[in-house]
Each structure stands twice: as structure tokens, then as C-alpha cells.
Chains A and B, each alone.
Chain A
Amino acid sequence: MQQPSIFSPKPQGMTLSEFNARIEQVLNNDARLRSQWVIAETSDLRLNRSGHCYTELIEKDDQGTTIAKVGAAIWASNYGSLYHKFLKATGQVLTTGMKVLVNVTATFHRLYGIKVIINDIDPSYTMGDMERQRQEIINRLKEAGVFEMNKQLPWPDVPQRVAIVSAAGAAGYGDFMNQLGHNPYGLQFYACLFPAVMQGAQTVPTVLAALDRINRHIDLFDCVVIIRGGGATSELNSFDNYDLANEVAQFPIPVIVGIGHERDVTVLDYVAAMSVKTPTAAAEWLIQRGTNALAHLDELQDAVVNAVRDTVAEAREHLAYFTSLIPAVARGIIDTNRIKLDNYTRNIPFAANNLIANQQTRLERALERMADAVKTAMHREQQRLQALDEKATLLSPVNTLQRGYALVRKDGKCATAADQLHPGDQVTMQFADGAANATVN
């Protein structure tokens, strides 16, 4: 083993606490690290026994990878007022996974390291972020074409068979059942609870499971009611969830949402067929449908009574009218017929004269037409005869003979060819003005 040399130099360096004291001095004296507004996301937020609130402040990039991180604390002395301020504005308790705008001061402790102290919080930033998330979900549902689906379902006349999604022991569920069961109109409702956790991380999976169970008995129900009591420790953020909103939007029967939030709405309020503020209001709405139906039945009953009364009264009136009408109608018929008869009697001579005159005229016309016809026929015959005469004149041999021709007759017959004549034949030559005898040689 080597002996340490007596000449080895004394180790050069300061203690860690000395070094940390320097960090502390630099950090705690830099104004740029005091009372700065910082945008961050809360992570792993918890309260310790002494009332201090610890959280990680983180920043994520677009891919969701954490790119900055620092431990933070709200001291108990400040936590109460910040808690209430935040709750009052947002309707939410400050919890893990929220986008926040916080006023912080960096501190350094030589034993615990760097920690930022949250002095103040601006809830409007968180509200804006929540609204943006909601809007994102709504846009996705609209793009998928399902946003309006549940709203467009037809309501039964009276939704009496109600599937309830709620926490069994919750005040809101009790209020709802009480209101529904003790309605003063004797309306019957059939409620069936499908339990779910209505706040915190288990909300979405348990509500989805409850809806799934309802779906298996869908024929037994007219509508679904999703309710939870109000209360100070609302963590409504759980309802601003795409999967849940998507399920409600596409649920095959109408969904009523009454998740007890006066200040703000969740995505479910936008997609559900009916949105009310509280469980009690949900019950009142159902009861109202029932009383409307009862009122409608009363109207129909009145209408039946009136229709019967009116029809009978009208029939009676008709009868009375006809009864009063008979003598007048009879008199009218007799009068009409008497007038007709008079007219006939008066008109017969005129009619007869007219008839005779008409026939005479017809006869005269016929005679005139006959005379005309005879005259026309005679004229036509004369013209024909004249034509024939002219033709006969044209064809007579006299004319031919006058032009110097002569007819040669042998034994009184006309010789029409040379071989009919032989030498020594006695022939007569007929000229226009007379005849001469000749001998053929």
C-alpha cells in the first residue's frame, strides 16, 4: 500500500453548502425569478398534512413529451384563498392535468434544491383552455357527423321508463328519485339505476360501462338520465371527454343530462337530447311531459263531449228545419205545376198555327224547287240535241260530193274498191246535184 506523501497538496475546493449558498444567493436575489407569470400544466398535485399543496409544473410539446419540469408549492397560508378563487371562477377544483397561468417565485434551499412558490393563479386562462378542449371535442363530433344524432331522436309521448346513470348514494340521485316518485299527479315512472362513479378519473369508464349495460336492455327504456349532485367538490372536467360524448351522441334512445353545474356546461350538455341544470330539474322535466299528456287527454275528453253535444244539437236543428219546411215545399211544388199547366193550355193554339204555317212554307219551297229542276233538265236536253245535229251535218257525204267527189253505185250499192267493178258493168255516179249513168270499160 502506498503511503500518502507528506507533500501531497491540501485538497482544493469548497463545501457543497458553501456552493449551494452561492446558488441561493444568486437565485434569490434575481428579480427576473420573482413574481413571474408562467404558463404550465399541473402534474401530480397533492396536499400534505400541514395543508401545503405540492405539484409539478410541466410543459409538454405538441407530441405530448414533457420538455420542462419544476417542483412547485402553494403554502397552506395561501392555498385556501387560491382554492376558492379558482373553484368559484371555473367550477372546478385545482387538480392534476390542468393548464394554468400561475404567478411564481423561484426559491432555492441548500438542502431541498430549487422549488417555485405559487403566489397567485389566473383562473380565466384555465377556463379558456377548458373551453378550447370542449370546442375541439365538439368539432370532432361534428366532423364525424354524430353531434346532432341524440337530439334528433323522437321522444316518446311520455318517457316513463327511465334508465338512470348515477352514483347510488349521491344526493342528486336521491333528489331525482324523490321528485319522480312523489309527483302529485299520480304519474307512474319506472326507474332503474345503473351505478357509476360520477367524479374523478373513474367517471368516464364507469359511465361508459353503465351505458353499455343499458344498451343491452334498450327495449325496456324510453330514455337515459345521467345525473349527479352538485356540491362544492365538482370535478366536471371528467365529463368533457370525447369517448363519453361520442357514446351519448350516438345512444339509441334520448339522453337527459343533469350533472348539477350552474356555472358552465360540459360537452355532454351539447350532445344530449336534453340538458338541464340539476337532477331535480331532470325529474321536473319528465313530470312536465306527463302532465302535458294528462292535459291533452282532458282536452280530448272535452272534445268528445262537445262533439257528441254538437252533433246531436245539429241533428235536432236539421230535423226541426225540415219539419217546418214541408208545408212550404209542398205548396211550392203545387204552384209550380199549376203554372206549367196554365202555360201549356195557353200555348197549344199558337203551337198548332205555327206548325201549319211551317208546313205550308215547306210545300211552297218544294214546288219552286221542282219547277227549277224541270227547266234545267229541258235546257240541258236542247243543248245536247243541237250538238248532235251539228255532228250529223259534219259527217254527211253531201259536203264531200260538193267538193268534187262522186259516189259510184253498182246495182244500187256503193262500190268502195276497184276490184268490185268489171268492164261492161253499168254504174251510177252520184254527184252533189244529181246522178249520171256510165259503163265501165
Chain B
Amino acid sequence: MEENKEMTYTQAVTELEQLVQKMQDPQCSIDNLTDYTKRSKELLDICRKKLTAADEQLKQILATIQQQA
């Protein structure tokens, strides 16, 4: 999903939390379950990636700034 690339960790984790809440609601329809599960997996991946995968572009920018200092 293209829009996911622009998501911040906070946005992703907030959406995930809301989604989990919906899924935990006794009124949650089994019809929505597949979509919800799929989306929560995507969001979990985004969040984990934000925390553990290196953002090379950001590293490059910071390296440039540090050199200027």
C-alpha cells in the first residue's frame, strides 16, 4: 500500500490500537474479520519496521548535517 510508506509510527500504532478495539468488541461482525486481520498484520509490520529497519535516507541526511558541524 503506497500510503503506508508515509505513515509515522504513531499513526500506524494508533490505527492498530483502534482496530484491535474494534475486533474485541462483541458486536464485531465476522464478515469484517478477514479485512481487519489483514490490515492489522500490515500495521504491525509497518510499526516493527519503523523500530528496527534502518532508514538509509535519514542516515544520509544526518551524516551530512554532522559533517557540516
Contact = CB atoms under 8 A, between A and B. Distances in A.
A217 interface: yes
Given A192-B62, A314-B26, 12 more contacts: A157-B13, A187-B51, A188-B53, A190-B55, A191-B62, A192-B63, A297-B51, A300-B17, A300-B40, A307-B28, A308-B33, A311-B30
Nearest to A217: B65
Interface in A212-270: 213, 217, 220
Nearest to A191: B62
Contacts of B52: 185-188
Contact of A293 (B17, B30, B51, B66): B51
Contacts of A314: 26
Contacts of B58: 161, 190, 220
Contacts of A296: 13
B51 A294 contact: yes
A71 interface: no
A194 B55 CA distance: 20
5 contacts: A158-B9, A161-B58, A296-B13, A297-B47, A308-B33
Interface in B7-55: 9-10, 13, 16-17, 19-20, 23-24, 26, 28, 30, 33, 36-37, 40-41, 44, 47-48, 50-55
B20 A193 contact: no
Contacts of A304: 19-20, 23, 36-37, 40-41, 44
Interface of B: 9-10, 13, 16-17, 19-20, 23-24, 26, 28, 30, 33, 36-37, 40-41, 44, 47-48, 50-55, 58-59, 61-63, 65-66, 69
Interface of A: 156-158, 160-161, 185-188, 190-195, 210, 213, 217, 220, 290, 293-294, 296-297, 300-301, 303-304, 307-308, 311-312, 314-315
A158 B51 contact: yes
B30 A220 contact: no
A316 to B, nearest CB: 10
B7 to A, nearest CB: 13
B22 to A, nearest CB: 9
A192 B65 contact: yes
B9 to A, nearest CB: 6
Give the 9 A-B CB pairs with smallest separation, nearest first: A307-B23, A192-B62, A186-B52, A303-B20, A304-B40, A315-B30, A192-B66, A307-B24, A157-B10
A84 B51 CA distance: 46
A312 B33 CA distance: 9
B16 A300 contact: yes
A240 B63 CA distance: 31
Contacts of A303: 20, 23-24
A303 B36 CA distance: 12
A308 B10 contact: no
B46 to A, nearest CB: 10
